[in-house]
Amino acid sequence: MKSTKSRSILSVIVLILPVFLNAQVQYSNYKTLIQRIDAMAKQYPDLCKASAIGKTEGGKDIMVLTIGTGERDNKPGIALAACTDGSYILGRELALGFAGSLLRDASSPEIKTLLEKVTFYIFPDVNPDATEQYFQNIRYERSTNARPVDEDRDFSTDEDPFEDINGDGVITLLRVSDSSGAYTESSEDKRIMVPADLSKGEKGTYSIYTEGIDNDKDGKFNEDGPGGISFNRNMTYNYEEFGANAGLHPVSEPESKAVMDFLFGHYNIYATLSFGPQDNLTQASRGGGDRGAQGQAQQAASQPGPGAGQTGRMGERRISSVMRSDETVIRLVGEKYREITGVKGSPQTKSDPGNFADWSYFHYGRYSFSTPAWWYPVERDKNAEAAFLKFAEENKLGDVFVPWTVIEHPDFPGKKTEVGGIKPFLMINPPTEKIEELVASNYKFITVVAAMHPELELIDVETENKGEKIYRLTLKVHNKGLFATCTEAGQNNIFTRLMRLSIETDKGLTILSGQKVQRIPRLEGNKTAEYSWLLMGKGNVTVTAGAVNTGFASSTIVLK
């Protein structure tokens, strides 16, 4: 009886598990994240390996899923990094959804072939300390880990956090009636506060603050709350010394160090895709973005910095813009992204100094793609917050705005003070009913692009008998993929494996001319390199070409 009951329970689990992996329609908190990762690893042990590569400053595991077949670390690999900015919680669902869909379809001919040739390294959340703020009693957008930092440099730590003054569980804004204020109501939507434009004869009538109290009485609100270092500002490329949330030095945090150590240790990775605020799939450059008064106030610690294409400190010699041949591939992938996902327009993005997407290309030397994956339409020269409220109304998204409500505030005695504004996370993360659709379209995009991986083959193999047991062997090494064998930016990077061509012969054969082992230069998509040797004798000759980031091609030729 006990055995039958156990089998019944097991059957129910097996039936439910695929749904649990792929049909998640809510945002996953950290506990659910770990459960979903463990479920995938247990259901598909031959295809999927789950590893904790380190712990965050707050003690949470930084997880990576390795999905593939055969010798996973000895063939081309793609790394997917989600939640590079903790406010972009959609990344968790896209990464987990992609992994679940890939495993679900692993037996189909198309995905089976793909997994034989490409390995996927999936980081469902590189900064769970920050992302978890979405699920706390007080919800506000956060990009920093749990490290205590004296952000306002007043010799006190974490002494001025957000306070939920109206008790609704979310942090919005304070607006204070002030004849000398810098803000006024937007002409596009009276609920939105915008900087007064003197060129249009506008005069400010409000001062704007984030919801809270000036605990340390320094005139600033909520500038020193829990935590302090942002993963997406702690990378080495364009690192901003003394920058807000940047850390004491590049890679100062356990999160960034764990991810970098993993990536640098996997030479087979040829491309990264990150889900976060940066975007190079719908727009050519990574420019700064503007989310209006609310965005300025809630993201005051995230100042836009130099992005791709800008120069560094005076006298530095470094790549500061995307190399031309790499740009060709990036544009091709961008076109695929727009075609497959059906996205329109461009998102409101920012390019913080020290971000992961720029680091992946300029310092790691890999193809780097990044996208927030979801956004709402904003017409040129229109206010982003007003556009969001219009979008929410047209799409019947309820409960997105906290109406302005008068309160008594200890820091503004005698002044009319109100709490209100757009709720956090909603402008950069879609409604939950959109998650499955976004998972499906991004899954298709990633698998299509992965199939474009660099792949070597030996073609036009010819032998010419020169007489006296002397043969000329000629062949071409062909990259039949659309990606180059490595980026132009990374070809001189010590962390990029060089392709090599080697020839092994039977004992009865002697190489008269041509090298036994030689370097193969970088090959762009559909390009070839030709090689030849003179050999004396008869027997088998085996030629092998490649590197772990391109895969290997081998051919055995019989001289007789």
Q: What is the pLDDT of residues 224-239, one digit of tens each?
A: 567 689 999 999 999 9
pLDDT at position 152 is: 58
Instruction: From 345, 408, 557, 410, select the one nearest 472 (Cα to Cα).
Output: 557
Residue 293, CA distances (Å) to 53, 80, 172 in order: 38, 32, 11
Neighbours of 171 (CB within 10 A): 28
The answer to whether residue 17 scores a pLDDT higher than 60 is no
Q: Would you state the pLDDT for residue 341?
A: 96
Q: Closest by alpha carbon to 269, among 81, 94, 502, 525?
A: 81
Residue with tokens 């990259």: 479
Task: Give the number of other CB atoms < 10 A from CB of residue 48.
Answer: 23
**For the domain bounded by 16-135+228-375+429-450, which CATH number is listed?**
3.40.630.10
Q: Is the pTM of this model over 0.85?
A: yes
- Is residue 243 within 8 A of residue 233, CB to CB? The reply is yes
Report the alpha-carbon distance of residue 85 to residue 232 in Å, rounded: 6
What H or E segment, with its residue span, contains residue 274? strand 269-275
How far out from the chain centre does Cα 281 lie?
12
Over residues 120-128, the mean pLDDT reads 97
Q: Write the CB contacts of 126 (distance below 8 Å, at least 6 apart in sequence).
A: 62, 81, 82, 83, 84, 231, 255, 259, 356
| 3-state SS, residue 356 | helix
pLDDT of residue 350: 74
3-state secondary structure 152-179: CCCCCCCCECCCCCCCCCECCEEEEECC
What is the DSSP track for 197-238?
-GGGT----EEEEESS--TT-SS-SS-B-S---BGGG-SSTT
Greatest CA span in the chain, whole angstroms? 106
pLDDT at 391 over 80: yes
The pLDDT of residue 14: 41
Confidence of residue 157 (pLDDT cuts 50, 70, 90): low
Does the domain formed by 456-559 have CATH 1.20.1070.10?
no
Per-residue pLDDT at 79 exceeds 50: yes
**Which residue type sits at 371?**
T
**Which H or E element spans position 37?**
helix 30-43
| 425 Cβ contact list (under 8 Å, min separation 6) | 87, 89, 134, 139, 141
Q: What pLDDT shows up at residue 223? A: 67
pLDDT (0 to 100) of residue 158: 60
- Look up residue 127 and give its amino acid: N
Q: Locate the domains of the chain by residue range.
A: 16-135+228-375+429-450, 173-226+380-422, 456-559
The pLDDT of residue 300 is 37
Q: Copy the structure tokens of residue 70.
A: 């055969």
**Band of residue 299 on the pLDDT scale cut at 50, 70, 90:** very low
CA–CA separation, 482 and 449 (whole Å)? 9
Residue 272 pLDDT greater than 70, yes or no = yes
Q: Is 309 left (phi over 0), alpha (psi -120 to 50) or beta?
A: left
